[in-house]
A and B are shown apart, each in its own frame.
Chain A
Amino acid sequence: MNRRNFLKLIAGFLPAVALVRGQNAGESHKSYVMVVDVNKCIGCGKCVVACKVENDVPMDFKLSRTWIEGYAVKEKIPIEESDVKKEVLSTSKNPFLDKSWIETTRGRKTFYVPKLCNHCANAPCVNVCPVYARFYTKDGVVLLDKETCIGCKYCIVACPYGATFTHPEQKVTDKCTFCYHRIKRGLKPACVLACPTGARVFGDVNDENSEVSRLVKENRVAVLKPEWGTFPRVLYIGLDSYVVE
């Protein structure tokens, strides 16, 4: 086989690689983003319940695709670890209605931060999955192929936000998909629908007329753990980064 034929053989493989590396689903002119207003979140937990109903996660399982972290902070600068009390809501039982939480928040600055998968543009989970079960769609959503996942849990280790977990019944990993099956039908994600105060807003940030574009233009937005370089797509208004990691 001479050199030209050999190079043709190599070149034959390249389109196959390009086919996979170039994302092959979704509309490339869209860029989905969720804006969360921490000032509006009241820690009711309806988003957690709605997400579990919509996406077949067991209600009493202690992990969820989306969860709420409640912070009760003594207003002291510089702060120490004992001045910050955290509580997490990720099941149908709401710990923010317990006597112990009410006691804790007395006299402290309190706020609730809803968290979910950030669908990072440089997602650590996509980089480390050995079977390429996680992939980007052209509109920015990171999807998880449960038929391919072998459950090695490297993505759980790699995600800085703790957004991934092992599904107890399906025995693969699971994470928020921005309710891809809903947003492609023009509906809103389940958590956005269920939020009573409108703290979660979802939309296409490339569309100038959307609510998220307006919010991003008019507010200072923050992201979680920017130093990890993941370029997340969940933007927070009113996040207290002195306290929240």
Chain B
Amino acid sequence: MQNLRKRKKVVSVKKIEFIFGSALLLLILVGALGILQMHTHPIMPIEPFESAEGIPWRLLVALYVFFVVSTTGFCIIISLGEVFGFTKLEPILKECMLMALVTILVGLMTIALDLEQVMRGYFAIAGHVNTTSIMFWMIMLYVLYVIFLIVEIWFYFYDDLIKQREERGLRGLVARVLTIPKASETKDFAKVIGFVTVFTAIIANSNLGALFGVNYIPLWHDPLLPVHFVLSAIVSGAALSVIGVYITDFARGVKIEGERYEAIQMLRVILGFSIVVMIFFTAWKFVTKAYPNSTLLSREAALPFINGEFAFNFWVMEVAVGLLLPLILLAAPQIGRRAEGVFAASLLTITGIFFLRIDHVMGGLALKLITGMSFPSPVYHPFEIMATIGFFALTILLYYVVYKLMPMEVGE
């Protein structure tokens, strides 16, 4: 009787996995179709998106910025736990590392597929370089970051991988490939590499901020934009860590308690603090730009956000949903003390951060277009939306696959 019950449970879990996996694959196919259509239809023929042709950086670049800053955020959380002694974060470090790896890989894929000449993308690394170009340094630094992150993950998981060598199936195979059976004290080495990784991640992320900040575009030109980017990395990292850990434990059917609950509470504190700093950053950024003393260009840049085309994106999605509401949820003890409450606040924060990226990229360019053809309102072309869905699905699928293959401390 008990065997029958267990078998039924196993069967239903496999069925859920199958449905889940095939749903994700379907979404990824939708994304691939979107990317293909984007590259084969030069002039988007769907009304009213024809004018979207003139804007150089649209939804995919905002998505790339989102992914890449998220990975820096994960890296900062990992380094807080591993290198800087926030020991309460240790139980969730493995999930964060895998999520960091998955998001940077998908982020690089996003920007590679946004290029007009995808097949020539390797030029930026292989020979044709312009050392005054910040975009070139960004690519180099992120490649370096991927190398260091993979090394860090390898060394952090090394001891557990050795234990996994005896298993059968794909997991064992992965473990046997990645290790030689001589256990050593690798966690210290992982700590040093972790420091180097977070160093590279912060340089790379602030470089991305500088990529926007050096242009004289009124919304972007700000020597502190790199700092703003690193700050938003902390926010995204903390929020996404909470989301990732919660969904992982939900999928395993485990309630969050004990050490992992303490880790979530520590993330709640980090998230709350960084949201407060972010509120002030955002508020003063727009006050400085919109003040009558600032240049005409700055005022024109800030105006769409205050009561123009981007007003909904800014006030509702970015400020209310992204900053104020999560802060209230995190601060309220009845909600903040429950893992579900922190999860809900993190979901809202991430939505706000996503719209922050869109506003930043597309709002800055809204003034840039040739007069008479400017398209100041945010345009989301259906192909781009399809591609976005595909990339998110790809992230989840990759994380799922890597999670299954790697030795996570607690069992299935």
**Direct contact between A and B judged by beta carbons closer than 8 A:** yes
Taking beta carbons and an 8 Å cutoff, which residues of A are in contact with B?
61-63, 67, 69, 86-88, 90, 124, 127-133, 148-154, 156-158, 160, 162, 165-166, 168-169, 171-173, 228, 245
A86-B372, A124-B215, A160-B216 known; A130 and B115 CB under 8 Å? Answer: no
| Shortest distance from the beta carbon of B323 to any chain A beta carbon, whole Å | 27
| Shortest distance from the beta carbon of A162 to any chain B beta carbon, whole Å | 4
Instruction: Report the bound CA distance from A148 to B136 in whole Å.
Output: 14
Say yes or no: is B166 at the interface (Cβ < 8 Å to chain A).
no
Contact call B370/A130, Cβ cutoff below 8 A: no
Contact call B121/A150, Cβ cutoff below 8 A: yes
Question: B371 — nearest CB in chain A belongs to which residue?
Answer: A86
Contacts of B369 in A (CB 8 A): 162
Contact call A168/B42, Cβ cutoff below 8 A: yes
Contacts of A90 in B (CB 8 A): 370, 373
Question: A134 — nearest CB in chain B belongs to which residue?
Answer: B130
Contacts of A154 in B (CB 8 A): 56, 133, 135, 211
- Contact residue among B42, B50, B133 (Cβ-Cβ distance under 8 Å from A127): B133
Contact call A171/B116, Cβ cutoff below 8 A: yes
Contacts of A127 in B (CB 8 A): 132-133
Question: B39 — nearest CB in chain A belongs to which residue?
Answer: A171
Contact call A62/B373, Cβ cutoff below 8 A: yes
Q: Work out how many contacts link A and B, with CB atoms closer than 8 A.
A: 108
Contact call B128/A168, Cβ cutoff below 8 A: no
Contacts of B215 in A (CB 8 A): 124, 128, 157-158
Contact call A130/B139, Cβ cutoff below 8 A: yes
Given A127-B133, A151-B115, A172-B116, 8 other A-B residues pairs in contact with their CB atoms under 8 A: A128-B132, A130-B130, A131-B123, A148-B120, A149-B117, A150-B121, A156-B56, A158-B215
Q: Which of B54, B117, B134, B211 has the most CB of A within 10 A?
A: B117
| Shortest distance from the beta carbon of B137 to any chain A beta carbon, whole Å | 9
Contact call A166/B56, Cβ cutoff below 8 A: yes
A87-B372, A90-B370 known; A150 and B117 CB under 8 Å? Answer: yes
Contact call B217/A157, Cβ cutoff below 8 A: yes
B73-91 vs A, Cβ < 8 Å mask (1 yes, 0 no) = 0000000000000000000
Instruction: Report the bound CA distance from A61 to B54 in whole Å.
Output: 11
- Contact residue among A128, A129, A171 (Cβ-Cβ distance under 8 Å from B42): A171
